[in-house]
Structure 1
Amino acid sequence: MKIVLAPDSYKGTLDQKEAADIMARTLKEIGHLAVTKPMSDGGDGLLNSFVDEGYEKIDLNVTGPEGGTVPAVYYMKADMAILETAEACGLHLLTRSEPGRRTSFGVGELILHARDRGARRIILGLGGSATNDGGFGMFMALGGRAKDASGKPVSVMNEDIGKIDELLTDSLRVLDGVEMTIASDVTNPLLGDCGAIAVFGPQKGVKPEQLSQFEDLLGHLHHKAMDIFTEDHSSTPGAGAAGGLGWMLMNMGATMKKGGTLIAEMISLEDAVKNADLIITGEGRSDIQTMDGKAPSIVAEIAARHGVPVYLISGQITEDLSAHFAQTWSLADDSKDVNEVMENTEEHLAELIRRIFG
């Protein structure tokens, strides 16, 4: 059989390319033809979908979420650059947990670096961020300025947003001539009970008693931003992505797109699916939310258009998804300990592939 492999990452264990490569090696051992198309819905790990797509890997140093220098990468081909927020302000870069002392400044540096290398089309994945600053740091890196009531510059750190009296755009320059597209599966607004702080703040170390404080900071930034931007994107779906980075980018002219759909188009997944006998997709943990724009749901949509069956192989499957996939398989089933599976995911994944297709 010709089998297309389009998994997302198995978070905490395998990235999407590693998972696809393990499946491919195992399938080839037992006589099947495998085509790897690692998928992403715009979350952290998006870059892994482009490793084998002919892009050049660019290495650089940027400002990390805590203000120090961190190494980062992005991918580029012709005038197209693929960037990932997590490379500059990802949760994995944290060395201490002080959400007020963080910044998205490095994301702006990534964008500038790509632009200076000739990028005129930029795709930015918003997953995995450690920041709650509404893109304020990024705005500053891109040439924006902020002054307090006495006219002094405001620092780029989240906790100092409340000191802003005026935002200035006279030096803001980056998106002229650049088509910026945001890849995200998040549809939350900027503020409120479903907003960036209320929903995602706790995942980034904001304590329950601090939520109102961070919400007020974001609200203050929003108020000041409305003095300089012509449209209010705070209620646009995705504004709350990456701690409000989605909102700031849309203020600056970026377009928000469903991450999984965009990535599938860019890696030509549909062309591969057309000629396949079977598709395998998967992720770390699947439930009914998987069908709300996550990578496996996008794969299933594409395959359905061409009548190709899809198998879902995930680390865990906690709800019945058999109506959406031809077969569903879980690495951690009733007979296997979740922690043991996570420690030996490669072995368990290869074993399951042999059992299904051998």
Structure 2
Amino acid sequence: MAHTVVIAPDSFKGTVAAAAVAEALAAGWRTERPSDALRLLPMADGGEGTVAAFAAAVPGARRMSVTVTGPEGLDVAASWVLLPPTPGTPGGTGVVELASTSGIEMLGTPPRLRPFDAHTRGFGQAIAAALDHGVSRLVLGIGSSSSTDGGAGMLTALGARFADAAGQPIVDGARGLADVATVDLSALAALPAGGVTVLSDVTNPLLGARGAAAVFGPQKGASPSDVAALDAALERFADAIAEAAPGADRDAAGAGAAGGTGFGLLAWGAQLVPGSAAVAQLVGLGDAIGAASIVLTGEGSYDGQSAAGKVPAHVGALAAAAGVPVALVAGRIASDADVSGFAATASLTALAGSGEGAMGEPVRWLTAAGAQLARALG
């Protein structure tokens, strides 16, 4: 009997994008069960691969090229995705991700960390390009940030003006936030008619012990003294922007996402939502699972934290609600991970014999994992 199989993985961060993960799993599955109908719906939670996931999952999606100012001030080639018009969005929906315009992976491997100078201007430029195209709605992914600028660079690219005590524009990055004295949002671009939805799996506030600087600053090269300075700069920025944008809640869940870019987007009037659930809804994952007989999902590292809002957990919940068996693929499955809800699992580390082997040839072992699961579930 032929099956209908939905393949809906997240990216394997740092190695393979979600669309390529889905393709490799499908290739492996087909070696064992060539007659099955496969539907590939690569997923994302707002981080790297969000644009690619929408481009692969939504029929009629178009990549739109744009040149932006990267986090180090150099021009970089990027793209956003235009989703087709719907009754509620006659101009279509623009999907823009921070990772490919202002992301930390743009700083090299290992990254050239710039805790005070990296910025989000390029992200704002890509958003502006989508607005100029005439989109009716925006969906923004803000994971994998390189900066801690509170979204000031993004807002500047959208028309905001931040000046120091002498009336001069502040410099890009968190360095400029320490000098901000006046805020002018009068020329800030209007929200599209359908609003702006921001995808994030981060619930941190802007400031304090759980804030953008304290939690994510060290990942971007910040020392303990740097963290204190960054937090103070973000607080000064929040104080300065409060009167001009009363809706910007520094304590809101997600305000600290992407170095405070969540806060900057709140100041613009955007809505922050859990990333994986919103992506699933936008690509029609629930309906696809309801028509399937088997579901595959996965991510790079599945551990005890993966059940908290990550892609496999959400896909698994949808499959459970529909009564459809779901299998998990991961680069590694940690000893503290609860996999009791999955009908089968496959670990690339186990297939390759080591973590290094799995990371060295991830597509090969993803293909092998697809074949293994086809044998187990077919």
Q: State the 1:156 CA deviation.
A: 2.6
**Equivalent residue number for residue 173 of structure 2:** 157
Q: Which runs of 5+ in 2 are unaligned?
A: 86-91
Which structure 2 residues correspond to residues 253-332 of structure 1 after superposition, within 5 A?
253-318=269-334, 319-332=336-349
Contact 1:126–1:183 (Cα < 8 Å) also in 2: yes
**Equivalent residue number for residue 89 of structure 2:** none
SS in 2 for 1:237: coil
Q: State the 1:176 CA deviation.
A: 5.7
TM-score (norm 1): 0.96
Q: State the 1:322 CA deviation.
A: 2.2
Q: State the 1:328 CA deviation.
A: 2.6
SS in 2 for 1:109: helix
| Aligned equivalents of 2:193, 2:308: Cα separation in 1 | 33
Structure 1 counterpart of 2:114, from 98, 110, 114: 98
Range with greater deviation from structure 2 (169-178 or 279-288): 169-178
Q: Which runs of 5+ in 1 are unaligned?
A: none
| Aligned equivalents of 1:207, 1:47: Cα separation in 2 | 32
SS in 2 for 1:285: strand
TM-score (norm 2): 0.91
SS in 2 for 1:18: helix
Which structure 2 residues correspond to residues 234-249 of structure 1 after superposition, within 5 A?
234-249=250-265
Contact 1:112–1:174 (Cα < 8 Å) also in 2: no
Contact 1:321–1:328 (Cα < 8 Å) also in 2: no
Structure 1 counterpart of 2:127, from 90, 111, 134: 111
SS in 1 for 2:96: strand
The 1:356–1:154 alpha-carbon spacing in structure 2 relative to 1, beyond 3 Å, is closer
Check if 1:19 corresponds to 2:21.
Answer: yes
The 1:169–1:355 alpha-carbon spacing in structure 2 relative to 1, beyond 3 Å, is closer
SS in 1 for 2:116: helix
SS in 1 for 2:306: helix
Which structure 2 residues correspond to residues 216-255 of structure 1 after superposition, within 5 A?
216-255=232-271
Structure 1's consecutive aligned runs of 4 or more residues displaced over 6 angstroms after TM superposition are none
Check if 1:132 corresponds to 2:148.
Answer: yes
Q: State the 1:304 CA deviation.
A: 1.2
Which structure 2 residues correspond to residues 41-60 of structure 1 after superposition, within 5 A?
41-52=45-56, 53=58, 54-60=60-66
**Equivalent residue number for residue 364 of structure 2:** 347
Contact 1:27–1:33 (Cα < 8 Å) also in 2: no
* Cα deviation code 1:105-145 (max 9, x no counterpart): 11111111101101120000011110100001111111111
**Equivalent residue number for residue 333 of structure 1:** 350
1:236 maps to a residue whose letter is A
* Cα deviation code 1:319-340 (max 9, x no counterpart): 2322332223211139821011
The 1:320–1:162 alpha-carbon spacing in structure 2 relative to 1, beyond 3 Å, is closer
* Cα deviation code 1:13-54 (max 9, x no counterpart): 211111111111221222233211101111211112122322
Check if 1:199 corresponds to 2:215.
Answer: yes
Check if 1:81 corresponds to 2:101.
Answer: no
1:349 maps to a residue whose letter is L
Aligned-pair identity (%): 34
* Cα deviation code 1:67-98 (max 9, x no counterpart): 11111101003321011011210112115322
Structure 1 counterpart of 2:67, from 43, 61, 66: 61
1:353 maps to a residue whose letter is G
The 1:167–1:321 alpha-carbon spacing in structure 2 relative to 1, beyond 3 Å, is same
Contact 1:82–1:123 (Cα < 8 Å) also in 2: yes
Contact 2:346–2:373 (Cα < 8 Å) also in 1: no
| Aligned equivalents of 2:344, 2:43: Cα separation in 1 | 19
Structure 2 counterpart of 1:40, from 41, 44, 57: 44
1:35 maps to a residue whose letter is R
When the two structures are aligned, how many residues end up with a matched partner? 358
